[in-house]
């Protein structure tokens, strides 16, 4: 028994007395990370295939990233948006280049980015017809955040039912079912919002034909198409943004998570057409969004994406992950199918996966679920075949025991 035994228990007990209980946390206090590994407060090592729910694309202790943040701390952390700052100017231009969009607004999180995207779409429609009763079409099983506006378009009734009327009126359709989307559209519809790969909703990729038909419907009716790329963006599918695989450009898109690789930052972006006809001075704002520290993080992340050729690495290495997960599906009845794109994968199982994830964590592997019966696999984007083999070596006996 190590001399640190009980250290985590004491910290967890203190946390449970002080923190609002809105999370069912694992009974682990994480202390530090190195490469694709995390270490708890008692020194135990974990292979991380959760990456902070898709945040730590570069893994942990990336020296270039950390030095860039230290350098910015030595200059200035915050200025407010009454002034320009150089990191934000640089980051906005670079995001335009990698996304193909025309205008950028920096926020602090994915949910805030979704809130801003919805406001832009509603203001766009208001400027067309002067009405303030517009609706948004969203997809069942989608997840866009838990703030009030983002919750309005999150396709899980359980998250919404206790909070009454939502600030944004939404109608819900089915993923990859164009007819259900067309049926949900009314003369009040101002936007259709979707994840190009649903994350929380079960790792469900949108099919190319479905995306094109929705895009064409939006063009026909002057409805704005919003892609939520908070989790599936920033290289996770092998493209900087998942829609780029098909060339189906949205009118508005959101980004967060790996955009800051640990520093809380989000953004929503739009075409010039939307920018010219939606939000103007005073319509939207943020105290911290786009501050020099957050934008220095974005610039450091983008530098490393270029230097490490992250999207090429994902495209090259993800098929190996898919192969290894497919082998589990073929070998064990507990696994029904693998689905996903790139380093955003899900193992659909025949029963609850909570116990599987807990057993894997006990053996030193961090995973996460996506619904009750899906194991979500979200490694850092720098993961190698060797580390994929290490993950499978831990996960396979846990899966075998669950059969």
**What residues does CATH 3.40.640.10 cover in the chain?**
76-307
234, 64 contact by CB (below 8 A): no
User: What value does the CA radius of gyration of the chain take, rounded to a whole number of Å?
Assistant: 21
139, 211 contact by CB (below 8 A): no
**CA atoms of 381 and 268, how far apart (whole Å):** 22
Q: What is the pLDDT of residues 251-287, one digit of tens each?
A: 999 999 999 999 999 999 999 999 999 999 999 999 9
Q: How confident is the model at residue 5 (pLDDT cuts 50, 70, 90)?
A: low
Q: What is the pLDDT of residues 85-101, one digit of tens each?
A: 999 999 999 999 999 99
Q: Check pLDDT > 70 for residue 159.
A: yes
Q: What is the pLDDT of residues 115-139, one digit of tens each?
A: 999 999 999 999 999 999 999 999 9
91, 299 contact by CB (below 8 A): yes
Q: Check pLDDT > 50 for residue 2.
A: no
Average pLDDT for 307-327: 98
Q: Check pLDDT > 80 for residue 403.
A: no
Q: Check pLDDT > 80 for residue 3.
A: no
Least confident of 152-156, 292-296, 345-349, 375-379: 152-156
* 314 closest CA partner among 113, 51, 47, 132: 51
Of all residues in the chain, what percent carry a pLDDT higher than 90? 95
CA 381 to chain centre: 13
Average pLDDT for 1-7: 58
Q: State whether CATH 3.40.50.1110 applies to domain 7-61+310-402.
A: no
Average pLDDT for 25-47: 97
Q: Check pLDDT > 60 for residue 8.
A: yes
**What residues does CATH 3.90.1150.10 cover in the chain?**
7-61+310-402
Q: DSSP letter for 163, please.
A: G
Average pLDDT for 340-352: 97
227, 241 contact by CB (below 8 A): yes
Q: What is the pTM of this model?
A: 0.96
Please report the pLDDT score of residue 167 as a whole number. 87
Reading the block at residue 239, the tokens are 């493209």
- Give 175-238 as a DSSP string: TT-HHHHHHH--TTEEEEEEESEESTTTSEEPPHHHHHHHHHHHHHHTPEEEEE-TTTTTTTTS
For the chain, the average pLDDT equals 96
Of all residues in the chain, what percent carry a pLDDT higher than 70? 99
Average pLDDT for 290-298: 98
Q: Check pLDDT > 80 for residue 4.
A: no
**Would you say how long the chain is, in residues?**
403
Identify the architecture of domain 76-307 in CATH.
3-Layer(aba) Sandwich (3.40)
Q: How confident is the model at residue 7 (pLDDT cuts 50, 70, 90)?
A: confident
Average pLDDT for 140-155: 94
Average pLDDT for 209-219: 98
Please report the pLDDT score of residue 17 as a whole number. 95
Please report the pLDDT score of residue 367 as a whole number. 98
User: Which residues neighbour 135 within 8 Å (Cβ) at sequence distance 6 or greater?
Assistant: 169, 170, 171, 186, 188, 189, 190
């Amino acid at each position: 028994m190590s001399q640190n035994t009980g250290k985590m228990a004491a910290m967890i007990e203190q946390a449970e007395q002080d923190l609002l209980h809105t999370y069912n946390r694992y009974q682990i206090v994480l202390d530090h990370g190195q490469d694709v590994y995390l270490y708890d407060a008692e020194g135990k090592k974990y292979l991380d295939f959760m990456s902070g729910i898709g945040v730590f694309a570069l893994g942990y202790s990336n020296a270039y990233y950390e030095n860039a943040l230290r350098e910015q701390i030595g200059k200035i952390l915050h200025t407010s948006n009454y002034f320009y700052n150089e990191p934000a100017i640089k980051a906005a231009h670079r995001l335009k280049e990698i996304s193909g969009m025309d205008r950028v607004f920096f926020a602090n999180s994915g949910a805030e980015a979704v809130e801003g995207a919805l406001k832009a779409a509603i203001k766009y429609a208001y400027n067309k017809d002067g009405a303030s009763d517009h609706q948004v079409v969203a997809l069942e099983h989608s997840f866009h955040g838990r703030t009030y506006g983002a919750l309005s378009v999150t396709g899980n009734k359980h998250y919404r039912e206790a909070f009454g009327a939502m600030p944004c009126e939404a109608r819900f359709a089915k993923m990859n079912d164009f007819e259900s989307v067309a049926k949900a559209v009314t003369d009040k519809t101002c936007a259709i919002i979707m994840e190009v790969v649903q994350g929380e909703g079960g790792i469900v990729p949108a099919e190319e034909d479905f995306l094109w038909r929705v895009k064409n419907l939006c063009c026909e009716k002057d409805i704005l198409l919003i892609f939520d790329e908070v989790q599936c963006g920033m290289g996770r599918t092998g493209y900087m943004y998942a829609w780029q695989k098909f060339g189906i450009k949205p009118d508005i898109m959101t980004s967060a998570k790996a955009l800051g690789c640990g520093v809380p930052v989000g953004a929503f972006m739009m075409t010039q057409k939307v920018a010219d006809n939606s939000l103007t001075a005073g319509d939207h704002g943020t105290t911290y969004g786009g501050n020099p520290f957050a934008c220095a993080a974005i610039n450091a992340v983008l530098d490393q994406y270029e230097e490490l050729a992250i999207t090429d690495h994902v495209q090259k290495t993800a098929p190996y992950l898919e192969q290894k997960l497919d082998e589990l599906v073929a070998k064990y009845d507990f696994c029904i199918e693998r689905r996903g794109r790139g380093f955003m994968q899900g193992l659909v199982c025949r029963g609850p996966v909570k116990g599987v994830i807990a057993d894997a964590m006990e053996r030193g592997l961090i995973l996460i679920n996506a619904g009750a019966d899906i194991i979500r696999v979200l490694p850092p984007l720098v993961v190698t075949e060797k580390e994929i083999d290490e993950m499978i070596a831990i996960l396979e006996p846990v899966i075998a025991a669950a059969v």
